[in-house]
Amino acid sequence: MLDLSINSKLYELWEVDAEHPPEKPHALVLYDYWLDKRGQRGFPSWRDIDLLDIWEITPYLIVKDVIGNGEDFRNRFWGTQITHRVGFDASGKTHCEVYEKRQQTPPMRAYSTVFQSGTPHILHRSCSYIAGREFVTFFGLLLPLGSTEDTVEQILMVVDFE
């Protein structure tokens, strides 16, 4: 069993827009792709996304399905570099399964913010919640996806490790 203690030593979250685009390399690739797929809509749908189009960053991707009204999120896709860096594979698991039913974690707040706002955000975070991985820090670009203008159904995330 993973030792996941919550320590928010490093936790920053901010909104991304055209005037303040992401700066990290993986985030730039995904943000440009997301903008192209979005067109004039608020956000693209999962059907618009083809991971083969962005194969070079796929190992750094996480795709989360929204459960219910955002009370939890299930990992539809968990990239191989995410597994390598954090030390476990969370494919198919919900946030509550990974965090042992603790919903009020910094990552959950980030997912909830993107779900509720329908806008892209950047998360700067340490892995202080994973024993033995406290030294791992990253920037994560979180992008909303949904088939209608008013409902986020997935969150597409790419990680740039420091």
Report domain extents, the chain: 11-161
Distance CA 94, CA 116 (A): 18
Position 131 confidence tier, pLDDT thresholds 50, 70, 90:
low
Q: What is the pTM of this model?
A: 0.88
In Å, how far are 12, 52, 87, 88 from 4, measured between CA atoms?
19, 33, 12, 12
- Between 3.30.450.20, 3.50.50.60, 1.10.760.10, 3.40.30.10, what CATH number should domain 11-161 receive? 3.30.450.20
**What is the average pLDDT across 83-105?**
82
Q: Which of 109, 125, 160, 119 is nearest to 142 (CA)?
A: 119
Instruction: Indicate the average pLDDT of the chain.
Output: 87
What's the pLDDT at 2? 33
Q: What's the average model confidence in pLDDT over 82-103? A: 84
pLDDT (tens digit per residue) in 9-26:
567 888 998 888 999 999
Report the range of poorest mean pLDDT among 64-68, 72-76, 84-88, 97-101.
Answer: 97-101
